[in-house]
A and B are shown apart, each in its own frame.
Chain A
Amino acid sequence: DTGVSQDPRHKITKRGQNVTFRCDPISEHNRLYWYRQTLGQGPEFLTYFQNEAQLEKSRLLSDRFSAERPKGSFSTLEIQRTEQGDSAMYLCASKPGQEFYGYTFGSGTRLTVV
């Protein structure tokens, strides 16, 4: 296992279209996190899963955003009716459950909404 994988690396979409990103975490990590990062800012928490259960969502997260982790392995993040303000880097991270380890992040998916 070589780390957290995200696909695609880059996505350009027209405003109003739906997009879906995929994250494959490190296999033995049962916690998976999605973050969003805009230029010059630190990553902003979106949501996280423990196994297949979505345990927390950001209070600021629009209902156009939805995430799933159906079998407790890979996860998808979907954005419906994209807006220009959704343009950002979307980062996925994983970590073991209860032990105190840092996140392992993927390289992210850069979304550009035109």
Chain B
Amino acid sequence: LAKTTQPISMDSYEGQEVNITCSHNNIATNDYITWYQQFPSQGPRFIIQGYKTKVTNEVASLFIPADRKSSTLSLPRVSLSDTAVYYCLVGDGVNYGQNFVFGPGTRLSVLP
């Protein structure tokens, strides 16, 4: 069971780039890294997923070093609407359930 560790909270200002790092020292060979975003009173929303190196989509970038023991979610030029909780999870993509664990996440506050 790969456990993840993230900062509990972060503050940023509008227009800045935000990087949230997640540690997953026990990641298994078959595990992917997935990030979710959650706004109050809503379910989490899938942001990005990767296995190694760098992945980029229209919302974020995910950087994964060669040893895969950590990953960094990068949000370019954040706005007030990016204020949310961000969760990092690792799992093999097939055996979800008890082995796909949400921690408390990182609470990002974007200030004007």
A-side interface residues toward B, CB under 8 Å?
4, 31, 33, 35, 40-45, 48, 55-56, 58-59, 89, 91-93, 95, 98-108, 110
Contact of A45 among B32, B36, B45, B98 (CB under 8 A): B98
B-side interface residues toward A, CB under 8 Å?
32, 34, 36, 41-46, 49, 85, 87, 93-94, 96-98, 100-105
- 22 A-B pairs with CB atoms under 8 Å apart are A4-B43, A31-B96, A33-B96, A42-B85, A42-B104, A45-B97, A45-B100, A55-B97, A59-B98, A89-B41, A95-B96, A98-B94, A100-B32, A100-B94, A102-B34, A102-B46, A103-B46, A105-B42, A106-B43, A107-B42, A107-B43, A110-B41
Closest residue on chain B to residue A55 by CB atoms: B97
A105 touching B45 by the CB < 8 A rule? Answer: yes
Q: Which 3 A-B pairs have the closest CB atoms?
A: A105-B43, A42-B102, A100-B93
Centre residue among B43, B45, B100, B101 by max chain A CB count within 10 A: B43
A113 to B55, CA, bound (A): 43
A102 touching B100 by the CB < 8 A rule? Answer: no
Closest residue on chain A to residue B51 by CB atoms: A100
State the Cβ distance, A40 to closest chain B Cβ, in Å: 7
Instruction: Please give 19 more A-B residue pairs, beta carbons under 8 A apart, in addition to A42-B105, A45-B100, A89-B41.
Output: A4-B43, A33-B96, A35-B102, A40-B104, A42-B102, A43-B44, A45-B98, A48-B96, A56-B97, A58-B98, A91-B43, A100-B49, A101-B93, A102-B34, A103-B46, A104-B46, A105-B42, A105-B43, A107-B43
Known: A31-B96, A95-B96, A103-B46. A44 touches B36 (CB 8 A): no
A31 to B94, CA, bound (A): 10
Known: A45-B98, A48-B97, A95-B96. A103 touches B44 (CB 8 A): yes
